Amino acid sequence: MGKYVESILAAKDMDRRVALSRALSMRIRVEMLDILHDKGTGHWGGASSACDLVTALYFLRLNIDPAVPTKVDRDRFILSKGHASLLLYEVLAHRGYFEPALVHSFRDIDSKLQGHPCMHKTPGVDMSTGALGHGLSVGVGMALAARLSGRKYWTYVMVGEGCLDEGQSWEAIMSAAKYRPERLVLLVDNNGVQLDGPSAEIMPLGSISEKLIAFGWNVAPGCYDGHDFNSIVKSFEWLDVPGPWPKAIVYSTVKGKGVSFMEGKNKWHGSPIDDDTWNKARPELVAALEDAEATL
Amino acid sequence: MSVTMRDAIGKRLASIGHRRADLVVLDADVSSSTKSNYFAAEFPERFFNVGVAEANMVDMAAGLATCGFRPVVNAFAIFLALKGTDQARNVLCYNKLPVILLGAYAGLSDSFDGASHHAIADVSIMRSLPNMTVIVPSDNAEAEAALEAALDRNGPVYIRVNRNQVADLPAREAPFKIGKISKYREGSDLTIAASGICVAMALEAADRLRKVGVSAEVLNVATIKPIDIPSLSDSVRKTGRLVVAEEHTIVGGLAGACAEALASVPHVMDVVGLRDTFAESGPYDKLLEKYGISAAEIERKGLALVKVGKSSGGLS
């Protein structure tokens, strides 16, 4: 495992980069499961649902320089659903922001890797998150700062549909539609399950796309599968098609993706992964990783 | 005193806008009340009126601050403190972002609008957030100096701004500095620690007390957090008696800050402020009087402390 990671950015052929990123995402799922099992704390459900999207973003899309994490012209990424922190740490580590071994200190005392993302402790984290509903508001501010300073960086904000329960999210959606900051992108990890149960029961949102359109956003047409790298790449291509700002993409995802008995189950939002669960879950993820690697 | 404190601060914001290109101003649909509209008229591209949405406004400011701008956020103090608290705590304070929150209509100064609009818990809320600096200016000069100082501070600052005209205080010994108490009167029998409009009341009370032979020291505690512990404890060690006066509930504001700071200094203490209650609509001066915020009340409580002696084991 692992030899392909360094080669993703070096690969000139986009298909090859996509295949390598996909394999890396599978590997990250295995590593996340191991760490969550080892630590007995953390969130699997929302981390696994966003895993392919965040991996694709950092390896196929973002203009960033891990050697200079605070570079002024870097693209910004805000993980508004901060409980998927372990995913962000995994991706940042693989992208070169810090040593992958550091991920094993997740949630430890004195660790740089807090329970939820913390911008002044972890290199590469653009905004601390944890309390839901903050990310898009901050992102609107960052995107307006780009406009005021004449910079061309992009600001990406990822929310889960649970994050959209927060009233502040809709305040932010309205303000973004008012100011229309260039290069502001909302990515919705619509996994359909929140902590207490299916979103359709806990707080039905109906069509998120239609709501965003009604609020004045430019929403990517069609359906995007947040676990299909080809679909994710297509959605990124749509971002480069000239059109009004701000832009949003709603991805269909599966909470707990990758472990059959965890998929779509709210129990695995944040339940600890015990030995039995780990023993049953891990082979599925390893098999998916081996399949992905076999195609390389 | 020729202009209201909000007018003074609004005009100062606009004037700072000329020399600081990094200044951006946000308001939640009350710019003609907070007077951020002076800045808006001169720098429309750097002014963001986000509508009635304080939470979003505070976080937008945070995003701007992470990219090198110096945002000043305006709203009614109580709505900023209540509807923007999660944002102030989890985004501004946790990340130590240099955002200034200007809480307009401090205390009971929006008197006629009634209890819903009275900012009587904003100081205690803001003071409880790690990394937050809390300033309650006593006159226009101090409010403007506090704004200037806050713009040079590396972290979030909450500044309370009175709606009305307030009395100009005598010139200070030293220029305003965040975290420093200004001593207005030397005294030996009693310390009066006051903030905001209560500083002028404290000076009046000290004058009256002097006539009955009580020597009161008057401290202007404009920075509630971080509080100037050395100046406060030096004074109270000397006098052994403390009256705190503030336009706020007696729960957790300046009185709480003083009590915490002086926990190891033997003294007797009393507080002039709104009791643990809501006020009501009415003229500002009448409201202050009815709810016990006045020079007479400071004088009365000071005299009572002098009568019981220094830390003699409780008040009668």
Nearest to B59 among A134, A143, A146 (CB): A134
Nearest to A171 among B45, B56, B86 (CB): B56
The pLDDT tens digits of the residues spanning B3-43 come to: 999 999 999 999 999 999 999 999 999 999 999 999 999 99
- Over residues A169-174, mean pLDDT: 98
Contact B241, B232 (CB under 8 A): no
The pLDDT tens digits of the residues spanning B116-150 come to: 999 999 999 999 999 999 999 999 999 999 999 99
Residue B311's pLDDT is what? 57
- Burial environment of residue B19 by CB neighbours within 10 A (0 to 12, 13 to 18, 19 or more): exposed
- Residue B314: pLDDT band with limits 50, 70, 90: very low
Chain A, 55 to 84: residues with Cβ < 8 Å from chain B are 72
At residue A269, what is the residue type?
H
Task: Reply yes or no on whether the pLDDT at B315 is more than 50.
Answer: no
Q: What is the pTM of this model?
A: 0.96
How would you write chain B as a 3-class SS string? Answer: CCCCHHHHHHHHHHHHHHHCCCEEEEECCCHHHHCCHHHHHHCHHHEEECCCCHHHHHHHHHHHHHCCCEEEEEEEHHHHHHHCHHHHHHHHHCCCCCCEEEEECEECCCHHHCHHHCECCHHHHHHCCCCCEEECCCCHHHHHHHHHHHHCCCCCEEEEECCCCCCCCCCCCCCCCCCCCEEEECCCCEEEEECCCHHHHHHHHHHHHHHCCCCEEEEECCEEECCCHHHHHHHHHHHCEEEEEEEEECCCCHHHHHHHHCCCCCCEEEEEEECCCCCCCCCHHHHHHHCCCCHHHHHHHHHHHHHHCCCCCCCC
- Over residues B63-77, mean pLDDT: 98
- B-chain CB neighbours of A139 within 8 Å are 63
What is the value of ipTM here, to two decimals? 0.96
Average pLDDT, chain B: 96
The pLDDT tens digits of the residues spanning B261-286 come to: 999 999 999 999 999 999 999 999 99
Cβ contact, residue pair B64, A144, below 8 Å: yes
Contact B136, B195 (CB under 8 A): yes
- Residue A137: pLDDT band with limits 50, 70, 90: very high
Residue A4's pLDDT is what? 65
Task: Reply yes or no on whether the pLDDT at A1 is more than 50.
Answer: no
Cβ contact, residue pair B67, A134, below 8 Å: no
- Over residues A143-150, mean pLDDT: 98
Percent of chain B with pLDDT strictly greater than 90: 95
Task: Reply yes or no on whether the pLDDT at B105 is more than 80.
Answer: yes
The pLDDT tens digits of the residues spanning B229-252 come to: 999 999 999 999 999 999 999 999
First to last CA, chain A: 12
Residue B84's pLDDT is what? 98
Task: Reply yes or no on whether the pLDDT at A78 is more than 80.
Answer: yes
